[in-house]
A = this chain, B = another copy of it.
Amino acid sequence: MGLELDYLFHPKSIAVAGASEDPRKQGNAYYRLLKERGFKGAVYAVNPRGTDVLGGPSFTSVGEIPGPVDYVISTVPAPAVPGLIDECAAKGVKTIHLFTGRFSETGHEDAATLERDVLARAQRAGIRLIGPNGMGLHYAREGITFKDHLPADPGTAVAMAQSGGNAVEMVLGPAARGVRFGKVLSYGNGLDLNEADFLNYFAEDPETSVVGLYLEGVKEGRRFLDALRRVASEKPVVVWKGGRTAAGGRAVSSHTASLAGDSAIWNAAIRQAGAVPVSNMQEMVDAVSAFYFLPPFTGVRTAIAGGGGGRSVQSADVCEEAGLVVAPFPDSITAALRERDPEYWDWLSNPVDGSILGASPWKMDELVALLTKSPEYDLVINNIDEQWALDRPEAAQDLPKTLDALLAVHAQQPKPMAVVVGDAVQPQGWQTDALTDLRSRCAAAGVPTFPSIARAAQALKRVTDYYRHKEALE
């Protein structure tokens, strides 16, 4: 039943109703982006004045377009939407994405009435609606997008959000760590197609490996939870419920006219469905990035390496507080350490303090190899001590060497591995570039990066929680 919506992502022709000459208007951007990203089908501009858009002709109505039209993006004002739907019905349009807002989210009864009328007309015509009050679709493979800086190269992550702004941040945050998205959906008020429809689709979509969902409310509670359970049984799904507080609930109502509901109940229901609840943008970005790169694993015994003493103490504290276990070296490892380093073998511990290692014949990558091979550890976290190193330009050469040695260990003996590379703002361009380079190397090796050990710990624990729950059901 899920894949029936696949046609949404594969329109043969798209018309932008409300296409504008003004480059600051979204009606201009939709049209321009389809051209720029190489959408293969026909693209039509529609505006009531029939003025040229981006040097090409436009049509005064959808009906006037010569060929067939599958998919219409509406940026026309709300009162013009019922007429547009009737036109689309006559034309045989299958899907309308309503970027158009100012419906029920205004809190005005006349706008809510208009919204109900829009739905009724679409349903009579068998047209499915995305929105209103949403940014619509991004589907890199077909050259469909809604914002210039959403990456054009596709991957297997999905972001779904009622909010357009959150959809963008849910993509750009992980993208900076090498995560790429296949499909992104900003569906606003969810008037017709809602979260349950999309989740059922993504449960079956073979192009999708992980789903991030930002939600303000649900239209059909039971159907939503069933759909969530279906996805979670197939692939990780991370759910951030907005409107958990009184003030958040009020904001939800003026944003997408959703009913917020009680926070504790929501998180319990999300967890019970086997999905992964998070509470803000940072947690969403971290969790999706972790799931994207990491294989399924359930063990929490964590080996940590790199950074000086202060970083080691912090790593141990925040990992254990997040529910990971930073266990001391097993005898097999201490015996190996002692053999090569009779002087300081007993000074070394988990986390491995890189500054102590300076006094030892053991090199960091050799020690990480030992930890990676050990059946006593389920995952390995490496701290790249970037803030310390970046005081001198040589770091741009030294840091990649250190990192590559660790990634080589991972390539030889795969075990869940994460790398902490700070994104603390750097005053100099070469420093920023050096960190970007480190993140790219990790992504190329299939290793997730996190901006702090605290955020890494929390995300990694969520990964184990998800797979433990899944395992318990199997």
Contacts and interface: CB of A to CB of B under 8 A. Distances in A.
A348 B255 CA distance: 10
B247 A319 contact: yes
Contacts of A169: 387, 422, 424
A165 B250 contact: no
9 contacts: A165-B307, A165-B308, A165-B385, A166-B311, A169-B424, A247-B328, A251-B313, A252-B313, A425-B432
**Which 6 pairs across A and B sit closest by C-beta, in order of nearness?**
A163-B310, A255-B309, A166-B310, A247-B326, A245-B320, A248-B317
A312 B282 CA distance: 15
Given A248-B320, A351-B251, A387 B168 contact: yes
A176 interface: yes
B311 A165 contact: yes
Interface residues of A, number: 92
Contact of A317 (B242, B307, B318, B355): B242
B214 A310 contact: yes
B254 A353 contact: yes
A4 interface: no
A169 B321 CA distance: 21
A48 B316 CA distance: 40
Interface in A317-361: 317-321, 325-328, 344, 346-351, 353, 355-356, 359
A250 B349 contact: yes
Given A105-B309, A165-B311, 8 more contacts: A149-B427, A163-B311, A168-B391, A250-B316, A251-B309, A255-B310, A279-B321, A280-B314
B452 A282 contact: yes
A313 B347 contact: no
Given A165-B387, A256-B309, A391-B147, A250 B328 contact: yes
A337 to B, nearest CB: 13
A423 interface: yes
A390 interface: yes
A167 B311 CA distance: 11
Interface in A153-187: 161-169, 172-173, 175-177
A244 interface: yes
A410 interface: no
B385 A148 contact: no
Contacts of A375: none
Contacts of A190: none
Contacts of A176: 424-427
A353 B256 CA distance: 12
A344 B313 contact: no
A316 B251 contact: yes
A392 interface: yes
A351 B435 CA distance: 35
B391 A148 contact: yes
A243 interface: yes
A107 to B, nearest CB: 6
Nearest to A163: B310
A101 B424 CA distance: 29
A175 B163 CA distance: 33
A439 to B, nearest CB: 7
A320 B311 CA distance: 31
A318 B244 CA distance: 9
A138 interface: no
A162 to B, nearest CB: 7
A436 interface: yes
A462 interface: no
A246 interface: yes
Given A161-B310, A317-B245, A425 B435 contact: yes
Interface in A398-437: 422-427, 429, 432, 435-436
A312 B251 contact: yes
Contact of A254 (B252, B349, B454): B349
